[in-house]
Amino acid sequence: MVCVSCLALVVIAIFTFVCWRILFSDCDLILQLAEKFGKSSASLTGKVVWIIGASSGIGEFTAYELAKAGCHLVLSARRNEELDRVKSQCLVSGKVKDDDVFVLPLNMLKTDTHAAAVETVLQHFNKIDILFSNAGRHHRGMFESTSLDVDREMFELTVFGAMSLIKATLPSMKERKEGHIFVMSSVAGKQGAPAASPYTGAKHALQGYCDCLRMELIQYNIDVSVVCPGPVHSNLIQYSLTEKSSEFYGKAWTKDENMMTTPRCAELIGIMMANKLGEGWISPQPILALMYLNQYLPWPFQRVSTKIGMKALAKMRDGAAKEK
Ligand SMILES: NC(=O)c1ccc[n+]([C@@H]2O[C@H](COP(=O)([O-])OP(=O)(O)OC[C@H]3O[C@@H](n4cnc5c(N)ncnc54)[C@H](OP(=O)(O)O)[C@@H]3O)[C@@H](O)[C@H]2O)c1
């Protein structure tokens, strides 16, 4: 009887500890353990990491994090001058020399250029240890009034752009029997968000592709990781797609919104890379706790998220009405 009571107490204590860690942290439990007991990004010294979407936001700060670790970096995105700026900052704040940081402009939508881009990287560094497919754009608009062209544009960038570059990179990794495909998803890759259906749909598709790829690549010693951040301060909203094709949302996030900083997000991404974690959730509260609710108790999550979603929509409508 005493033993049963002791066991019950131990179970309650563990459960309380786990709930506390879920409610008062900015990343999932495995990532918390990796941060405390696992490898830091410093263990990645000398690795060749190709970051797509390195010209701003999370990609930019991941470049700084990895430059501090002494990684060899390839910085890609469309804006050459921004990539040069990021490279200069890597040289100032990181443990890298001019030759260790290679700027390679790349448009993820131009899939016919991807094979040549991979060749260029291999000529420069001989290998690609980690491909960080991070480029992306958000979307602001209602499902019904969003043009199908916008839905397509989102999938072309988020899904087909990423798949094309991963396919082009894999042969060299398979030949070496070593590599790491690291893909940027989002909380929206795990659960729905109002007024962002193409973004949410595309990130869900990316998750599905990566879950299959992870199983197919085990035999070649190639890891696949997917990172799912919640709101992080960056330029993402400003360059969001809207309901109409070829239009920018244009407004930036304000500093007082409940968001993670880009350096903290980059730090956790570095830990995920170093420990080769298959999936990582990174988010301020209460979004992180809601992700757990969605994963393990979907029915109550749907009730809570519908209410939160309706409130978010009402806030957006109020904001739009005030601007008129
Ligand atoms: N910020 C968040 O709250 C958040 C949360 C979850 C997930 N994410 C994901 O994180 C990733 C990075 O976003 P961010 O927040 O850092 O926003 P950001 O500051 O706007 O960065 C987006 C990056 O993607 C690049 N990019 C966009 N279109 C591209 C294209 N066609 N070809 C090549 N590069 C392209 C941009 O570079 P150029 O314009 O120079 O091409 C830029 O470097 C995205 O995939 C986003 O979905 C962000």
Q: How many helices (H) and strands (E) would you count in the chain?
A: 11, 7
Mean pLDDT of 102-125: 98
What is the average pLDDT score of the chain? 93
Closest CA to 266 of 93, 97, 54: 54
Structure tokens at 72: 């060899």
| 133 Cβ below 6 A of ligand 1 | no
| 231 Cβ below 6 A of ligand 1 | yes
Q: What are the boundaries of each domain within the chain?
A: 30-284, 288-324
Tell me the torsion sign for CA atoms 241, 246, 250, 255: positive
Say how many Å lie between the CA of residue 77 and the centre of ligand 1: 9
SS (H, E, C) 96-155: CCHHHEEECCCCCCCHHHHHHHHHHHHHHHCCCCEEEECCCCCECECCCCCCHHHHHHHH
* pLDDT higher than threshold 60 for residue 321: no
Classify burial at 184, counting beta carbons within 10 Å of its beta carbon; exposed 0-12, middle 13-18, buried 19 or more: buried
| 51 Cβ below 6 A of ligand 1 | no
For the stretch 281-313, pLDDT in tens is: 999 999 999 999 999 998 888 888 888 877 877
pLDDT of residue 291: 94
Residue 69 DSSP label: T
| 57 Cβ below 6 A of ligand 1 | yes
- Report which secondary-structure segment, H or E, holds 9: helix 2-23
Closest CA to 208 of 261, 155, 132, 276: 155
d(CA 250, CA 242): 10
pLDDT of residue 320: 60
* pLDDT higher than threshold 80 for residue 181: yes
Say how many Å lie between the CA of residue 270 and the centre of ligand 1: 17
For the stretch 247-270, pLDDT in tens is: 878 877 776 678 999 999 999 999
| Nearest residue (CA) to ligand 1, atom 8 | 186
Ligand 1, residues 50, 51, 52, 56: which to mutate, most atoms within 8 A of Cβ? 56
Instruction: CATH number for 30-284: choose from 2.30.40.10, 3.30.420.40, 3.40.50.720, 2.60.40.10.
Output: 3.40.50.720
Q: What percent of the chain has pLDDT over 70?
A: 96
Say how many Å lie between the CA of residue 12 and the centre of ligand 1: 42
| 235 Cβ below 6 A of ligand 1 | yes
| 39 Cβ below 6 A of ligand 1 | no
- The pLDDT confidence band at residue 43, using thresholds 50, 70 and 90, is very high
Mean pLDDT of 143-161: 97
- The pLDDT confidence band at residue 18, using thresholds 50, 70 and 90, is confident
* pLDDT higher than threshold 80 for residue 126: yes
Say how many Å lie between the CA of residue 136 and the centre of ligand 1: 4
220 is catalytic: no
